[in-house]
Amino acid sequence: MRLDPQDSAVLDRLDAEGDHLLRRAIAWCAIGSGSRNLEGLEHQRAALEPVMAELPGRVESIPLADSLEVGPDGETKAQAHTPALRLTVRPEAPVQVVLTGHYDTVYPAGSSFTRVVPRADGALNGPGLADMKGGISVMLGALAAFEHHPAARNLGYRVLLSPDEEIGSLASAPLLAELGRLGHVGMTYEPAMAEGKLAAERKGSGNFHVVVRGRAAHAGRDFASGRNAVAAAADLAVRLASANGRREGLTLNIVRIDGGGPLNVVPDLAVVRFNIRLPDAEAGAWALDFVQAAVAATAADGVSAELHGGFTRPAKPFNAAQQALFGAVRDAGALIGQEIAWASSGGVCEGNNLFAAGLPNIDTLGVRGGDIHSEAEYAWPDSFVERAQLSALVLAKFATGEIPAAEIRSMMG
């Protein structure tokens, strides 16, 4: 693999675009787009669509089905979502790449964290700047520059920007699976890990909710007739937490117990919410059996327990295909003086979904930053050009065949 003059011309374009990539990401951060803020999400989608339309191909708004969630009242209700955006370019080309990102953030409507401000060390602090409005700007900038490469005609791509990644991609999962089956390799724009590293293997994840119902009664006059759902939920939470340490790499995190009311009433409803991270499918099967047994044991005279949820993102191992892809990206990075390294991650993202569909992918091609999912979230301004250049060069090497995308895909088995 070598750096050709055509490659250098693309990289020079991105050098000149650096301020633009950063400025538009900052502008997008002013749009509140928490996963359940439908008005803000629609505003963000409207801002992204014309930028995607500047690329060749066809841009579509894809309606998403409602997902289901368990409310604090124990009832299952529909959660609406704004459409996903999909761009399709040269679907007939011999090499096909899938690029994904999400335009939702974790910051809800009404959050006071709404501005991007500079830190003393030169980083920028702002909502979604790293995760992942900066990543989307990098992705679209890399694609725009790549279109000027003479080998671009050899490569087609599909871009999906979804509104629900931060809540598990429940509505966009079918689209991710569909695109995963259509590509040779995938590129996703979550922020880079510490020191700019890529995420190699990832754990799987599942979110669960147990609705515990008891019997209400007056706490003073008729206590014995009551069946305390909160006490039963607390007992269940303790038993569920005992899964930790029983299986290597598996964790069960009790997140919240909803329930209770006036202090003079035996509570008749509680909802236990928890997350499971798993290293592989075998651990997931063990965990599900454990959870089902714990929930069944909660049922007693006058108390019932109903399990909702499940595993939404399978584990993403660092198999032979992933190793080949990461090695090729490392070699491409070396051509432009970027030292590419990687590490394991307990986090999950759309890369898990793509891998489950058979698509080898790198899912941390976004900007360098940190403290995501908090009001300390930050990104380094110089990483916008840096990461866009890496992506554009990798796309060029896919197009020329110097990185054999189809061969890497065939290693998935």
pLDDT higher than 90, residue 199:
yes
Q: Are 149 and 157 in contact (CB under 8 A)?
A: no
Complete edge-to-edge strand list for the sheet that includes strand 304-313: 251-259, 269-278, 204-213, 304-313
Position 303 confidence tier, pLDDT thresholds 50, 70, 90: very high
CA distance 136 to 139: 5
CA distance 271 to 308: 10
Q: Taking residues 277-282, report their average pLDDT.
A: 94
pLDDT higher than 90, residue 300:
no
Q: For 281-377, where are the E strands, in sequence order?
A: 304-313, 342-345, 361-362, 369-370
- Write down the pLDDT at residue 195: 87
Burial class (CB in 10 A: 0-12, 13-18, 19+), 131: buried
Of 63, 138, 128, whose CA–CA distance to 99 is shortest? 138
Calculate what percentage of the chain has a pLDDT beyond 70.
100
Q: Taking residues 260-283, report their average pLDDT.
A: 96
Q: Taking residues 313-318, report their average pLDDT.
A: 96
Domains and their CATH numbers in the chain: 5-70+80-202+316-410 (3.40.630.10), 204-313 (3.30.70.360)
Position 326 confidence tier, pLDDT thresholds 50, 70, 90: very high
CA distance 166 to 378: 17
CA distance 180 to 355: 7
pLDDT higher than 90, residue 194:
no
CA atoms within 13 A on the CB side of 132: 28
Of 317, 257, 307, 258, whose CA–CA distance to 287 is shortest? 307
- Write down the pLDDT at residue 413: 81
Of 167, 178, 177, whose CA–CA distance to 348 is shortest? 167
pLDDT higher than 90, residue 25:
yes
- Write down the pLDDT at residue 373: 95
Distance, CA of 357 to chain centre: 15
Calculate what percentage of the chain has a pLDDT beyond 90.
98
Burial class (CB in 10 A: 0-12, 13-18, 19+), 265: middle
Do you find a cis peptide bond into 132, omega within 30 degrees of 0? yes
Position 84 confidence tier, pLDDT thresholds 50, 70, 90: very high
Distant-in-sequence, close-in-space partners of 242: CB < 8 Å, separation ≥ 6: none
CA distance 226 to 212: 14
CA atoms within 13 A on the CB side of 57: 25
CA angle in degrees (0–180, nearest 5) for 111-349-238: 80
What are the tens digits of pLDDT across the range 130-139?
A: 999 999 999 9
Q: Taking residues 206-232, report their average pLDDT.
A: 96
Specify the length of the chain in residues. 413
What are the tens digits of pLDDT across the range 380-398?
A: 999 999 999 999 999 999 9
pTM given for the model: 0.93
pLDDT higher than 90, residue 301:
no
